[in-house]
């Protein structure tokens, strides 16, 4: 429920602000928070917006200095060699990762879900592909969400799927969760023991719209809506770019970038807004990060997304809404990091210290929980070849020396350091 974009509440807050003695710094922070709330227009009856002492602003067109980082200096790295047997032959496309379980599939849509222990030991293969009410149509166009706490797997199909299918960890069907009529979900994640968080998607955004498609928190049991979170903005921005011939269109927006786990909270990013918000477990929100210039003033637009956030570094990515002519990419991107210790923003490169030669790493936002920041598949034959050339060291070298001639891929997990 919106309350006149929250202006009544802000007016009351301003009166309180004038009648209380606050320090200059406290007033500056408070004024900044008020300005953000008015500009974004996001206040609801049940949502409280609090101050954030770590709030930063990022210039998406600014030329920043470069910085080289060593991954192992600030993150923990775990390598998982997936067990290879006659049955367990997989291309190692990671679906989801828990504390004890790892789910992967093949590149081809054969319906197989390979269930591994985090040690890499194969446990079982689940396949419920089909056209029945208790079966999924495909995995290539689905999200698979692992709920270890309840020993369940949620499969959310994108295409012609009106329900979220729920199985146990052995592939036994448990229930079907209906989606709200006329909608679909993206980026479903585990919010808590009883709920999922995701992004509700109906149609393409209307450029006349002043409110985003909602972030939602729904029941794991029956899909009932618990919370509907909407971010207002000046004007909706369409994320699609069409090539000159009009035959192909590309979407700059990766839905996995819109909902981002951060410690015990979630970051919510909306293309048409200049502010990234932080959502806490009690449903309160606070402005977390802003960008300049306003996305509303740009043509073509440059968007800002969070990628990986650590205790020291906030890794970010800008993406320009135009088709890049060079091979290997569609949208021009810039990798940025905010160094909280130095209070400085850099363009960065990251090197994996388990390689004797400099091996740069391309951070991508594919994490689904606060433990695993990032995962990457490494083909075993590439590791064996690199080891033969003397390019590996440390635990990656030790693991590679134990690999068979034609094994499954190795999964590298980059973990937030505790």
Q: Domain limits of the chain?
A: 1-45, 46-416
pLDDT given at position 46: 34
pLDDT given at position 254: 58
Q: For every one of its 418 residues, what pLDDT tens digit does the chain have, with 9 covering 90 and above? A: 333 333 333 333 343 333 343 333 333 333 344 334 333 333 333 333 333 456 899 999 999 999 999 999 999 999 999 999 999 999 999 999 999 999 999 988 899 999 999 999 999 999 999 989 999 998 988 999 999 999 999 999 976 678 999 999 999 999 999 998 878 898 899 999 999 999 988 755 555 667 778 999 999 999 999 999 999 898 888 777 766 555 556 666 556 678 888 888 999 999 899 999 999 999 999 999 999 999 999 998 999 999 889 889 999 999 888 877 655 557 788 999 999 999 999 999 999 999 998 899 887 767 667 789 889 999 999 999 999 999 999 999 999 999 977 789 999 999 988 7
Enter the pTM of the model. 0.82
pLDDT given at position 38: 37
pLDDT given at position 42: 37
Contact, 113 vs 120, CB < 8 A? no
What are the CA-CA distances from residue 224 to residues 138, 142, 163, 195 (Å)?
25, 21, 12, 10
Domain 46-416: give its CATH code. 2.120.10
pLDDT given at position 211: 72
């Amino acid at each position: 429920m919106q309350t006149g974009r929250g202006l009544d509440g802000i007016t009351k807050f301003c009166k309180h602000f004038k009648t209380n003695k606050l320090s200059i710094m406290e007033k500056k922070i408070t004024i900044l928070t008020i300005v953000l709330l008015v500009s974004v227009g996001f206040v609801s009856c049940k949502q409280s917006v609090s101050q954030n002492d770590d709030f930063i602003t990022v210039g998406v067109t600014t030329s920043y200095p470069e910085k080289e980082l060593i991954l192992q200096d600030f993150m923990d790295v775990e390598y998982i060699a997936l067990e290879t047997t006659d049955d367990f032959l997989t291309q190692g496309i990671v679906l989801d990762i828990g504390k004890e379980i790892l789910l992967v599939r093949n590149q081809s849509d054969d319906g197989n879900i390979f269930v591994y222990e985090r040690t890499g030991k194969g446990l079982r293969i689940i396949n419920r592909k089909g056209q029945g009410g208790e079966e999924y149509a495909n995995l290539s166009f689905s999200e698979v969400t692992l709920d270890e706490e309840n020993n369940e797997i949620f499969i959310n199909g994108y295409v012609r799927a009106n329900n979220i299918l729920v199985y146990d960890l052995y592939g036994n069907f448990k229930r079907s969760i209906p989606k709200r009529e006329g909608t679909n979900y993206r980026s479903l994640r585990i919010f808590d023991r009883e709920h999922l968080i995701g992004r509700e998607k109906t149609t393409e955004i209307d450029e006349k719209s002043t409110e985003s498609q909602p972030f939602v928190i729904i029941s794991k049991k029956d899909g009932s809506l618990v919370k509907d979170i909407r971010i207002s903005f000046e004007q909706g921005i369409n994320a699609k770019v069409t090539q000159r011939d009009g035959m192909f269109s590309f979407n700059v927006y990766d839905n996995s970038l819109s909902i981002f786990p951060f410690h015990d909270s979630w970051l919510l990013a909306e293309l048409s807004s200049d502010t990234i918000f932080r959502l806490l477990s009690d449903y309160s929100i606070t402005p977390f990060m802003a960008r300049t210039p306003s996305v509303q003033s740009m043509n073509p637009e440059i968007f800002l997304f969070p990628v990986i956030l650590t205790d020291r570094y906030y890794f970010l990515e800008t993406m320009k809404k135009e088709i890049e002519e060079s091979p290997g990419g569609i949208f021009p991107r810039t990798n940025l990091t905010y160094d909280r210790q130095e209070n400085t923003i850099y363009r960065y490169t990251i090197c994996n210290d388990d390689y004797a030669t400099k091996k740069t790493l391309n951070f991508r936002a594919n994490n689904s929980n606060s433990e695993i920041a990032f995962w990457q598949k490494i083909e075993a034959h590439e590791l064996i070849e690199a080891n033969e050339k003397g390019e590996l060291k440390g635990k990656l070298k030790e693991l590679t020396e134990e690999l068979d001639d034609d094994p499954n891929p190795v999964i590298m997990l980059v973990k937030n350091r505790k």
